[in-house]
Chain A
Amino acid sequence: MKYVLMFIETEEFAHQLEAMGELEREAAYAAVGQWFADHADKITHHAHLAPVHTATTVRLDQGEPVVTDGPFVEGKEVVSGFAELEVADLDEALKVARSWPACPIVEIRPLS
């Protein structure tokens, strides 16, 4: 089955990242790199999104399309990237998600 893992950042996590020294940040990035390498045989596609201040939202349910600045919901938790997996079932996807070394929330959705 195909699943998408959505990586979700919190404000707290963003602050922690900012407060890191250069070495510490390099180590954090290296851990993420290692995670992608460890699961390379299952990850079919992945992407990191530009920060949320770059987001633009279009609403199509109000007659004319309305374009606004910002994400579709203003919140303290934002999607920062995703990885598409090909695994047997949810338990395998959960195992991969559990070992994710960076941002504190991962949502798992099957592709329909």
Chain B
Amino acid sequence: MSGPVHEEVLAGVVREHAGRLAASLVSLLGDFSAAEDLVQDAVETALRRWPVEGVPERPDAWLFTVARRRGLDVLRRESNYRAKLAGLTRPDPAPRDDRLRLVFTCCHPALSRAAQIALTLRAVCGLSVAQIAAAFVVPEATVAQRITRAKRKIGEAGIPYRIPAEEELPRRVGEVLAVVYLLFNEGYLSSTAERAQARDLVEEAEWLAALLVNLMPKEPEAAGLLALIRLHRARGAARFDPAGRLVLLADQDRGLWDRQAIERATALLTRTARAHRRPGPYQVQAAIVACHAEAGTFADTDWAQILVLYDMLLHLAPSPVTRLHRAVALRHVKGPEAALAELEPLGRVLERYPLFHATRAELLRDLDRRGQARRADERALELTANPAQQALLADRLRWT
């Protein structure tokens, strides 16, 4: 390949190879931090040179050679690494995919959630510090420090580089999926004021979920999470109007939904459910989104089925936010009064959650309690930092 390289292609190639290289270098050197530094150097070199020279025929070999040369250069003083690096040859033909070990180390529960996320994006997805900082709208120095501290902790606290033992696995898989899910959520509806939707993080999250499905074929929840992300993405084009305003599910132009993507994701979900018969929170959430996605119009929505799925979700993973969503389904099955009765007791825990107040406002408006509805919308507006949500609530306060 030669000539100018499109930025997206570049990002895709880096993402495909950076994590693999990091994984094999950690194995070979036995030092997470040193290996990770070398990969970052190689990636930065690639991002500088590939746009000019074109992506090499074997990007993996190219990155490996640069990392190795760089390692010999930088670590000349450290004889320990030097001997190891000097003896290093690229395992051929196809090196074992060690990225799962890398993922488990990056998402170790002894690291803070913020550190897990930053480290995963950097080591597994090959994002630079600048890219991570831009995605989360935080200063580069903050991200750099987070990563440095996390790497130091991995080394000094003895966080292992391996796939957890069988009895640990369910808990640790849950931790990994939670990181990917948070990444997706952050991207899907960013809570920061800078922009309503950070597309790149959503893409990284989908890619990570797909990677986990490949690396852990025995974990139905990984496939559930992938289906969930794909079902949301399939409707992405309808979520904002041309002016960038958020469009609610009921008002979305369903012609903009990617029907093929919805069918494929739903098929993945069905296949997973049949093959494993082990439902979990991500599979059930995906099934709920699939119910919405399969309805031709908002009026066609199978709310009774959705209500059953919410009951199942509450059984698997009880949470006040899930109860809030269940109340919305209940409104369509049993009416606004029943839904409001379910909602009110959640007020204590969800007092600072904007969606609680916005939902409450809708139910109160259904019941013609307009004054209370306004106050609830005003409270929701105070609490949200998301510009798209702010605009929607302000609109509603203006017209109702």
Contact = CB atoms under 8 A, between A and B. Distances in A.
Given A90-B110, A91-B168, A110 B160 contact: no
A112 B153 CA distance: 12
B156 A89 contact: no
Nearest to A2: B158
A110 B164 contact: no
Nearest to B109: A94
Interface string A1-39: 101000000000000000000000000000000000000
A91 B157 contact: no
A88 interface: yes
Interface string A91-112: 1011100000000000000101
B160 A91 contact: yes
B164 A91 contact: yes
A93 B156 CA distance: 14
Contacts of B156: 110, 112
Nearest to B104: A91
Interface residues of B, number: 10
A112 B156 CA distance: 8
A50 B101 CA distance: 43
A89 to B, nearest CB: 4
For the residues of B in contact with A, the DSSP-based class is: loop
Contacts of A93: 158
A88 B168 CA distance: 16
B34 interface: no
B159 interface: yes
A23 B89 CA distance: 65
Nearest to B110: A90
A7 B201 CA distance: 40
Interface string B141-165: 0000000000000001111100011
Interface in B264-280: none
A93 B158 CA distance: 10
B157 A88 contact: no
Contacts of A3: 158
Contacts of A88: 158, 160
Contacts of A91: 159-160, 164-165, 168
A66 to B, nearest CB: 32
25 contacts: A1-B158, A3-B158, A88-B158, A88-B160, A89-B158, A89-B159, A89-B160, A90-B108, A90-B110, A90-B157, A90-B158, A90-B159, A90-B160, A91-B159, A91-B160, A91-B164, A91-B165, A91-B168, A93-B158, A94-B110, A95-B168, A110-B156, A110-B157, A110-B158, A112-B156
Given A1-B158, A90-B160, A91-B165, 11 more contacts: A3-B158, A89-B158, A89-B159, A90-B159, A91-B160, A91-B168, A93-B158, A95-B168, A110-B157, A110-B158, A112-B156
Interface of A: 1, 3, 88-91, 93-95, 110, 112
